[in-house]
Every structure is written in C-alpha cells, then in structure tokens.
Amino acid sequence: MKLQRLSWAGLKVESDGQVLLIDAVQNYRRGASIGPENPVQFVSDTAADAVLITHLHSDHYDPEAIRAVLKPEGKFIASEAIVPELTADGFAPTGVSLNETRRYGNFAVTPVFAMDGVGDKQVSWVIEADGQRILHGGDTMWHNQFWQLGKTWQHFDAVFLPVNGAVVNIPRVAPTPVPITLTPIQAVTVARLLHADVLVPIHYGFHKEGMYHQHPQMEEEMARESLAQQVKVLWTEPGSGVVLPVVAADA
C-alpha cells in the first residue's frame, strides 16, 4: 500500500494504481466548523475507485469533494447505519454491516466498532491490500471493544488514530470536561492493544478557545506514553506520504 495523509483525519490509500480515500475533506465550512485553515488540496488531481467515511460530521464527510473525485464506476462505501442520510444527499452508497468484509478491486474493507464522542453513528475501518493491514479510527473515543479488536485482527501494520483529546463546547450538546476523542495516552494504549507496528496520529492541530480545546501538551504526553508502552509513533505532516516501518518476520 502507498499511503498519504491528507488534512485532519483524511487518508489516501493506493494499491496497484487503484485509489481509496477515507474521511477525505477539502471543503471545511468556516465559522463554527472544525478543521484546518489551509487543507490539503487533493480534489483536482484525484480519481478515486472507492471512498469511505467513518461518520457524517462535516470534518469527516465532504459531499462536494466526493462527487468531484469518485470515478463513474467508483464505490461510495459506508456503514449501513448511515445509508439513509447519504441517500438523502443524492448518493447511491454501498452499505456494509458491522464486521462484514467486502472486497473492492485490490482493497478489502471492514467496518468495526467505534464510539462517537457525542453519540452519533460512527465506525472505524480496517483496510487491507498488498498483504498489509491498517485501521482508520475516525475520531473515536475510548471504548471497551479495543481488546476484542486486538484479539480478532491480531496485527496491524499501522493504525491511524485521533490523538487530540478534544474537549468541546458546541451548541448541540451540553459542555463537559470529558474528551470526546482519544487522548494521547489512550491512543498509544489502543495501538498496543491492536498489536500495531506503528501509530500514525491524525485529527489534531485545531484549537478554538471556548469552543474546541485540543489536549494540552499533546506531543509531550505522546512521547512519554509511547516510550512507556513501547509503541512506535510516526508523526506525519498533512500532504506527506506515510512510510511504514519494515518489521522483521520474527519480531
């Protein structure tokens, strides 16, 4: 697999000329929306064979970009739980049930359990191609299925997990001091429970005082915890390729 980190939680995956996008957003609505000021521009030079989203929040779901990049024969793949909403938006998505593996060209994709911080419908995605396996965690918070996911899948070449431990004050939910996404210590722990060769942090770098607070000293805590739990962390700038480590077969 050839991997490229896009903005925020976005990821581009290539296999033998085929392209899969997940949570790829270019059009972040300004104002109260969450997301980077200068997102990676990918729409003009991308033709996607498959598009996945973890959930419907505007920092993970960009209908305009999806319409622009998806090939006429391409597949828009989503959890069956959000198919009605996507259909209402004018798409003809392929709905997949939890833990059901589907193959699209070179890619095998499986939606697995995730927990949204404000109670909306969300999944994480297991993506397999070229003998490698990754997990994309959307913006999940901590939940009690990570142990089972580790037992089921046994190994990941990389896990892409939110690390910003966001504490929010937004109109539709009562404010609390409890993070709605994984914190640094939680993300590192998840990577260990999933037996991942490397953790690639995503979903960080946005802070808006009084509305959306990123975990304080995020990078310092990641460094401490990755050392304590012996988890390799690969910080990757948006727009850059993700080079997975080569791990010996007997490691």
Q: Is 82 part of a structural domain of the chain?
A: yes
Q: Which position has the higher pLDDT, 37 or 235?
A: 235
Tell me whether residue 251 is in a domain. no
| Domain annotation covers residue 245 | no
In a domain, 244, yes or no: no
pLDDT more than 70, % of the chain: 96
Q: What is the mean pLDDT of the segment spanning 180-196?
A: 98
Name the pLDDT band for 251 (thresholds 50, 70, 90). Answer: very low
Partners of 94 in beta bridges: 77
The count of structural domains within the chain is 1
Residue 242 lies in a domain: no
- Provide the domain limits for residue 158: 2-237
Q: Taking the model in full, what pTM does it have?
A: 0.96
- The predicted model gives 16-44 an average pLDDT of 89
Hey, what are 81's tokens? Answer: 């739980």
Q: What pLDDT score does 244 carry?
A: 86
Domain with 59 in it: what CATH number?
3.60.15.10
Any domain includes 122: yes
